[in-house]
Amino acid sequence: MATVETPTGGAPLTVLSEEEQMFRDAVRQFAESEVRPRVHQMDEAQQMDPELILQLFEMGLMAVEVPEEFGGAGASFFTAALVVEELSRVDASVGVLVDVQNTLVNNAFLRWGSDDLKARYLPQLAAERVGAYALSEAGSGSDAFALATRGVEADGGFRLTGRKLWITNGAEAEIFIIFANVNPEAGYRGITAFIVERAFDGFAVGKKEDKLGIRASSTTELILEDVFVPAENVLGEVGKGYKAAIETLNEGRIGIGAQMIGIGQGALDATVKYLQEREQFGKTIASFQGVQFQVAQMAVELEAARLMVYNAARLKDAEQPFIHEAAMAKLFSSQVAQRIASQCIDLYGGYGFTREYPVEKFYRDSKIGTIYEGTSNMQLQTIAKNLLK
């Protein structure tokens, strides 16, 4: 086992296997050399660099858990969380692109896909094709099962009609997991998951959202107009899509937690460097005790959030119950990321309020953590239900 040091060189964080540490270090080097030079341009353009996406595939970062027989890295869920953390330390937009591919799309195929679906789609998702997970709708956010998208049985399959909203990776994706209700009278027990390809007739990507943060990450509308989906493209069982949705999102919340601790670490790293260089009253800002105490408090909260995320990921890999821990990790890490990013702007002073320095972007990116893949209120509800059941 190998000890991992904080990026700012402090006390040991946790213990990783040698393989995990090597994977993490490779991702960190990649993020610094290939992602960081592109961050500002991608944020301004609100678009992911296509060349960077190709590099993510070449690095094996788009299929961390996918077995080697399908072209993936064959690593653990915990390793996928490390990847998301390290990428988000530099750019949370890249972090969430990789997160959705791994913790939602690939995981759904691995858990619910037939042998045929795995053989057909996992090699594509590992090599070159981005995936997206389409559950949300205009009237179906926290109430995830109030779906208006409908599936009607047709010869050899189903025809889907409806609109999806807030779909991450929508602009880049070619393979979509679409949730639709094939039996509205049965309520949520009619919800079914379908694999839809961008090229299917009647399918289109609609409006792209103009967002506060993670601007290089595409968030789009999806339009389905009588889209025929063959029966073999049902993911799991007909009427069991609600189960696939719940279980996949429970895992995905750990990925969002990893994104949030990456954001917090990135903001803190940039601020520590700035404080050691910037002088006021004849000495560096870092030499003031009041500033030192603020930095120390941020480091403590970030470490607590990291350990909560890591613990939830380890429990998932060990096939132990983790829903309670995942909800707590997602809730706390998103709160911590916002607090740290905000305080870092304060420590930068006026410079922190400008786009010349990186902390304003970390602040913008951190806000989404309390909203997507289950709002903070939904996480509190999950935690309370588990405690009071």
- Report the alpha-carbon distance of residue 138 to residue 134 in Å, rounded: 12
Catalytic (active-site) positions? 373
Q: What is the mean pLDDT of residues 270-289?
A: 96
pLDDT of residue 1 exceeding 60: no
Task: Say which range, 137-146, 240-249, 275-284, 304-313, has the weakest mean pLDDT.
Answer: 137-146
Rounded to 10 deg, the angle between the 323-348 and 241-277 helix axes is: 30
Summarize pLDDT for 137-166 with one digit per residue, the tens: 999 888 878 899 999 999 999 999 999 999
Work out the mean pLDDT of the chain and round it to a whole number. 95
Sign of CA dihedral 367, 371, 377, 380: negative
pLDDT at 304: 97
pLDDT tens per residue, range 314-324: 999 999 999 99
What does residue 268 show for φ and ψ, rounded to 5 degrees? -65, -40
Region of residue 113 (phi > 0: left; psi between -120 and 50: alpha; otherwise: beta): beta
Which domains are present in the chain? 2-130 (1.10.540.10), 132-239 (2.40.110.10), 243-388 (1.20.140.10)
Crossing angle of the two packed helices 92-99 and 77-88, in degrees rounded to 10: 160
| CA separation for the pair 272, 28 (Å, rounded) | 18
Collapsed DSSP state (helix, strand, coil) of residue 300: helix
| Residue 188, pLDDT above cutoff 60 | yes
CA 194 to chain centre: 21
Residue burial 277-312, b: 16+ Cβ < 10 Å; e: rest: eeeeeeeebbeeeebeebbeebbebbbebbebbbbb
Answer whether 275's CB lies under 8 Å from 291's CB: yes
For residue 84, the model assigns a pLDDT of 98
From the list 69, 134, 79, the residue with the least C-alpha distance to 102 is 79
Chain centroid to CA 16? 21
Q: Given this model, what pLDDT does residue 146 score?
A: 87
Residue type, 310: Y
The amino acid occupying position 237 is E
- Which two structure tokens, joined as six digits, stand for 43? 């944020």
**266 pLDDT above the threshold of 80:** yes
The stretch 43-67 carries a mean pLDDT of 98
Q: Are 126 and 119 in contact (CB under 8 A)?
A: no
Over residues 358-379, the pLDDT tens digits come to 999 999 999 999 999 999 999 9
Q: What is the pLDDT of residue 14?
A: 58
The confidence score (pLDDT) of residue 11 equals 36
Q: Under a CB-based contact definition with an 8 Å cutoff, are residues 98 and 255 in contact?
A: no
